[in-house]
Structure 1
């Protein structure tokens, strides 16, 4: 099935994710974005990172992360992260991830991962079995 809209992942912020200022701990924002991307893999490709790694010998390490913090989050908040595959490269995936609490922008991130052969930790082309779904996602983001 071809997706018609960007993938979203919703989660509640927990007390344990806050710092002494009683807002979301800065380092957790990367976790929020990566969690959303992993859920994207599960939903859009039908597999998670663990399964790809263990069952297929394929890893997807992140090679670049850029993030802007726009507003704090607290345990009163439900964070919705929208994931778009902004660019499909030969072996890389560039994601645009935007986190919102309602209409309020909480963070914007760009994450790039690469497909690798886990035995050699060398880049490999995006696997053929995932390419149709990846191409559909890239087209969705550009359209």
Structure 2
């Protein structure tokens, strides 16, 4: 199963050439991850980071930009879990406009004890919820 959201490309997202300025994709990716933790996993950033003792900092990122996206395009984002480690979470996020793939990102997050800033094992109940979003081949 994938976690899916749509987002319209706004004026603030584009450069003078009228296409999405690539750093804006990273903001969109972060927004998708935040929505996934909140709506998909039931452990939002407020509960996890602000009120709780955990965090999920980005450890690695790969991105492929396949085709330009323009103002007012609707991007359909899809998030799947590529691999779950003891404390790492490897995701794949794909942005499409219609049938055309515009961008693919492969972030790796690390589940940490926030105060200690050290990787810890993903709690079993959270891991189980993440497994529902594992990529199917």
**TM-score category (smaller protein):** over 0.9
- Determine whether 1:33 maps to 2:21: no
How many residues end up aligned between the 2 structures?
137
Asked if 1:142 is matched to 2:136, the reply is: yes
Q: Is the 8 A contact 2:59 2:110 kept in 1?
A: yes
Please give the per-residue CA displacement for 1:8-60, whole angstroms capped at 9, x wherever unaligned: 11111100111111111111111122211221111221122232012221000
Q: Which residue of 2 aligns with 1:113?
A: 109
1:43 aligns with 2:39: yes
Q: 1:52 aligns with which of 37, 48, 67?
A: 48
Quote the Cα distance in structure 2 between the aligned partners of 1:10 and 1:48. 19
CA distance in structure 1 between the partners assigned to 2:6 and 2:44 by the alignment: 17
**Partner of residue 8, structure 1:** 4
Which whole-Å CA distance do the structure 2 matches of 1:74 and 1:142 have between them? 31
Give the drift of 1:137.
2.3
CA–CA distance in 2 between the matches of 1:126 and 1:80? Answer: 28
What TM-score do the two structures reach when normalised by structure 1?
Answer: 0.90
Q: Any runs of at least 4 consecutive aligned residues in structure 1 with deviations exceeding 6 A, and if so which? A: none
CA distance in 1, matches of 2:128, 2:72: 39
Aligned-pair Cα RMSD in Å: 1.2
Matched residue, 1:100: 96
* 5+ residue gaps, structure 2: none
Residue aligning to 1:82: 78
Q: Which runs of 5+ in 1 are unaligned?
A: none
Q: Which whole-Å CA distance do the structure 1 matches of 2:19 and 2:86 have between them?
A: 39
Counterpart of 2:60 (choices 52, 61, 64) is 64
Work out whether residues 94 and 104 of structure 2, in 8 Å CA contact, stay in contact via their aligned partners in 1: yes
Distance in 2, matches of 1:135 and 1:96, equals: 14
